[in-house]
Structures are given as C-alpha cells and as structure tokens.
Amino acid sequence: MKLLPLTLPPVGAMDRLPLSLPFSPTDLLWRYPLGFPAATPTQPASTPASPVLDFKTHLPNSLASDPRVWSREDVTTFLRWCEREFDLPHFEMEMFQMNGKAICLLTKSDLAERCPGAGDVLHNVLQLLVRDAQTLQRCLPSSPVTPTSTRHLPYPHPLSPHHVAGSHPNASTWGLVDFQAPNLAHLVHQGNSVTLSPAPSVDSQSGSPQHADHNAGSYHSSGSNGSNQSDTDEESYQENGTNGLQGHSSPPSTPGANAVAPALPQPQSPSKEQMNVLGNNNFRPVRDFFPSDTPEPNTNGRLLWDFLQQLLNDPTQRYTNYIAWKNRETGVFKIVDPAGLAKLWGIQKNHLSMNYDKMSRALRYYYRVNILRKVQGERHCYQFLRNPSELKSIKNMSLLRQQMSPTRPPASLQQQQQQQQQHIQAPHHQSSTLPQIAHPAAAMSIKIEPKVESESPADDDVPTDLSMEHPTNLSPTDLSMEHPTDLSPTRHSGLTDCTAALLCHVVKVNEGSEVSDEK
C-alpha cells in the first residue's frame, strides 16, 4: 500500500502529524471535530500554519482547501488528481458519487472498499486536508455554516458509520449530549449537497414551538405523537431535536409527548427473516435500479420519496422506529414517529424547522403524481404507488403527471395494467384506473383513482389497491444488503451521506439505550 508521506511533497509538518497515528485519523475527527485542541499531551498547539500547506498547494486550483465543501465534481477532480499525484490505481468514480463532506466521512476501510490499494492514501490525504481546514476554521471568524463555539467536545465524530457501528468507546454517550457540537452540526448541515439554508424562519419556528417528543419510540409505540418539532434556534435543535430523534431519555416535557418509553428495541440485526423479507422486496433498493452509469438522475435521497424508501429499505431495519413497512409487498408503510422522521428529513434537507406538518405536505404533493397515497383510516400510513425503479426512470414530475393522466395512461402502460389486472383481481372498484407501471421488472398493479380516494379504509397489512405482480426473486447481490452494517455513501446510494451516517448513529445510540418500548 502506498503511504501518503512517501508520495507527498516534502512536508515538514509531517513530523508533527505523523500519519501513523496511535488512533486513526477518523478517530482524530471524532475526538476533535473542531480541529485539534489548543494543545494535547502529544500534540503541540495547532497553528494556522498548515502542516499540509505545501501539500495543498499541489491541489488543483479549482478545489477549495476544505474538502468538506467540495461538490461531487470537486471530489472527482480530487480523485483524478490523487491518481496522478500519488500514482494510485484508477478510481471507480461510480463509487464516489458524493460530495466532499461525504467522502471526508468515509473511513479508511470505506475508502479501501471503494478503491482497494488506495484507501489509506486517500484517507490520509483527506484527513490532512480536513484537519488543516478545521485548524484554519478555528482561527477564523464564524461563518453561517460553521458556527463557532468554544466547545471542544472530546466526543467521537457522530457521523461515521463505523463509529455508529459502535466501535467507538464513546458511542454510547455522545448521542446524549454532543451532537450539538457546532462543528458536527456543521457537518450535518454540509452533508447535503444543499448549502446551509437560511436560518429557519422565525415564523415557522414560532409557529409550532413544540420540541421533539423524544420518543423516537419503538415501532410498537403509538407512533402518533406527531408533535411538530420546531426549534427555537439551531443550537437548540441540535441539542434537543437530535435527542428527540434518538429517543433518548430526558425528553423535554412536551405535553403532547407520548408517555411511551423512549427507548428503542434492541438492535435489529438483519435476521434471516428480515433478509428474506428484504429479498422479496419488490421495492428494491434504489441502487438496484440505479446503476451509476445510467442516465437516470441520482436523487440520492434528496427527494422525499427516495429518502423514505431508503429508510424503509435499510438492510438492518434501523429506522423502523421512524418509519416501517406495514406491508412491503404493497408498499404500505407507517410513519411510526412522525416528528422524528420529519426531523430526519429536516436534517437531510437542511431545514431545521421541518416538522411533520410540513413534511406531510410534501407527501401530499405526491398524491397528485401517484407516487403516494394515504391509507385511509390509518394515521400516518401511506402507500407507495410506484417503486423506486419507476420513480427514477421517470425523469420528472411533469412526466409523471402526464403519465398518470387518470383518463388515459400511456398505451404501453395500459397494456401492462390490463395484463396485471388479469393477474390480479382487484378487490376494489378502482382497478380500471390503475396508475401506470413504468417498470416492467417490478410491475405493480395499482388500483387508484387519482381524484377519488379509496373509500375503503385500507387494511393494515392488506392494502387493497396495490399489489405486486411479480414478487421479485432478488438474489442477495441484487440488493444492497450485502453490507448490512454499512450505510455509508454510495453503498446505499441514497441518504445524504452525512445523514445516513448520522442516522446510523442516532439509531445505534437508541439501540444502546434502555429498551422499554412495550406499549
């Protein structure tokens, strides 16, 4: 394996920051998310003088010095540069469809997976750049996206999936307190391709000042807490809202918070049963339908439906405390923790004042394009009317709208629907107005009238108006389930990378907490 120091330009500072650290660079990030503390027993105080300054000068000019702000293109540029600079094997760019923030969050092993033989080098380079940028940040005035704080929390970096996996000794503790580390928030904020949105409007915040109900709750819990979560400011969000997501103890005394014990079920390792379920999942993981070389747009979790799909299809079912399938075959799911889910969505989109009310409005927009429908009579229950394949093969909503014309679906789709109707006797009368099936591979028979909601309350597990024609027999390789513990970027090709990692951690922390979700 190539070692960065050997290939880097002479960097005097290397002796100040040996690459063979007693702990991994990732650990460094975890320990010092804000950069190195002023001084440590083993480390002299950081100075603005960058230890990688020389190294950085070799970076392409187009690249910002802080890799966390790189766009995807920048990441590509960087990788190409690394190939040349360090004589590394060719990178599969499909494995790096992520922005700078995301790639910085990848661990060495993550990187090694993506680029065998070069992971270490890449990791070291990135860590150096990050560290340097952090050092610089500490010396600069705060910016909107990097709120400064004097808090240097010696907590692990919450965003690493590996950390989340519980490998870090502090893993069980940070969730209680340290997500609010400003720099972590910063990381989260930047985890999106979206730049930090303007601060949540005072309006929206004051409009529904409830706090998270902190009962991310078990799947069996009420799931109807539904209290909107608004935060009075970003910090409070980080301090409270996240805990809310984590379902940790010490919930705020939200009147509406339900009394269900906040703890989550024990870690749900992918049981055989679960894997079977997943294996029969007709709503195949996005990745399957979305090879990197297709021209299809990679929504990458930026779209709500995609986000939901990814939570639902998480290989290890870590998000069932927020959202869970009620009937995977039919696409019926329940938002178990509306507030928590909204919070996650808010994190994903950098809309910190997101609440269930707003998120549900977005969901309702999906009605008109037949992506979703409400399961009548069931609170927080919705039904996907299209699978990811369909959704992603349809370039945009206008196309969807055209396609979903209730009176006249596209001919090919009509044919398909007719075939499906022959296969499936719809128990309901709407079967003549099936939405279109765009993806034969996972064709669904959907009985829905865009303008006429089903009158019959859908049965929990037997949704009435959507069925899968071909329960796909997916081989494990078809699914992105091979790495059930890894929600790292690209593997799931979905959640904003930081969000995925964050969610992993959040859930993990929850799992580590007391379990008392019986209701």
Partner DNA sequence: CACCCGGAAGCTCT
Partner DNA sequence: GAGAGCTTCCGGGT
- Name the residues that contact DNA, by CB under 7 A: 193-195, 197-198, 200-201, 203-204, 207, 224-228, 255-256, 302-305, 338, 345-346, 349, 351, 353-354, 356-362, 364-365, 367, 374, 378-381, 396-398, 400, 453
Quote the least distance from Cβ 359 to DNA, whole Å: 6
Per DSSP, helices labelled H in 200-297 are 202-207, 234-236, 242-246, 272-279
Question: How many whole angstroms separate alpha carbon 307 and alpha carbon 317?
Answer: 14
Measured from the CB atom, is 153 or 500 closer to DNA? 500
Quote the least distance from Cβ 514 to DNA, whole Å: 24
Placement of tokens 């599969």 in the chain: 92
Nearest CA to 494 out of 189, 274, 284 is that of 284
Quote the least distance from Cβ 458 to DNA, whole Å: 11
Nearest CA to 78 out of 64, 168, 124, 418 is that of 64
Q: Which region holds residue 332: left if phi is over 0, alpha if psi is between -120 and 50, else beta? A: beta
Question: How many whole angstroms separate alpha carbon 22 and alpha carbon 493?
Answer: 32
Quote the least distance from Cβ 496 to DNA, whole Å: 11
Quote the least distance from Cβ 400 to DNA, whole Å: 7
Quote the least distance from Cβ 308 to DNA, whole Å: 10
Burial class for 373, CB neighbours closer than 10 Å (0-12, 13-18, 19+): buried
SS3 category, 178: helix
Q: What is the largest CA-CA distance in the chain?
A: 76
Question: How many whole angstroms separate alpha carbon 233 and alpha carbon 201?
Answer: 10
Residue 323: in which H helix or E strand, if any? strand 323-327
Measured from the CB atom, is 134 or 383 closer to DNA? 383
The DSSP call for residue 71 is -
Measured from the CB atom, is 141 or 255 closer to DNA? 255
Quote the least distance from Cβ 404 to DNA, whole Å: 12
Quote the least distance from Cβ 405 to DNA, whole Å: 14
Question: How many whole angstroms separate alpha carbon 512 and alpha carbon 493?
Answer: 26
Measured from the CB atom, is 65 or 193 closer to DNA? 193
Do the Cβ atoms of 270 and 316 come closer than 8 Å? yes
Per DSSP, helices labelled H in 86-181 are 100-105, 108-114, 119-139, 161-162, 171-177
- What's the angle, vertex CA 346, arms to CA 212 and CA 219, rounded to 5? 55
Measured from the CB atom, is 73 or 482 closer to DNA? 73
Measured from the CB atom, is 133 or 342 closer to DNA? 342
Can you give the C-alpha Rg of the chain in angstroms? Answer: 23
Placement of tokens 């996240």 in the chain: 242
Question: How many whole angstroms separate alpha carbon 479 and alpha carbon 491?
Answer: 10
Quote the least distance from Cβ 473 to DNA, whole Å: 30
Tokens of 275: 């894997």
SS3 category, 253: coil
Tally: H helices and E strands in the chain: 21, 6
Measured from the CB atom, is 369 or 434 closer to DNA? 369
Q: Which region holds residue 87: left if phi is over 0, alpha if psi is between -120 and 50, else beta? A: left
Measured from the CB atom, is 146 or 472 closer to DNA? 146
Measured from the CB atom, is 362 or 441 closer to DNA? 362
Q: What are phi and psi of 373, to 5 degrees?
A: -145, 160
CA-CA-CA-CA torsion for 306, 307, 312, 314, nearest 10 degrees?
100
Measured from the CB atom, is 52 or 103 closer to DNA? 103
For the chain, give the number of residues: 519
Quote the least distance from Cβ 364 to DNA, whole Å: 5
Measured from the CB atom, is 105 or 339 closer to DNA? 339
Quote the least distance from Cβ 429 to DNA, whole Å: 19
Quote the least distance from Cβ 443 to DNA, whole Å: 21
Measured from the CB atom, is 204 or 268 closer to DNA? 204
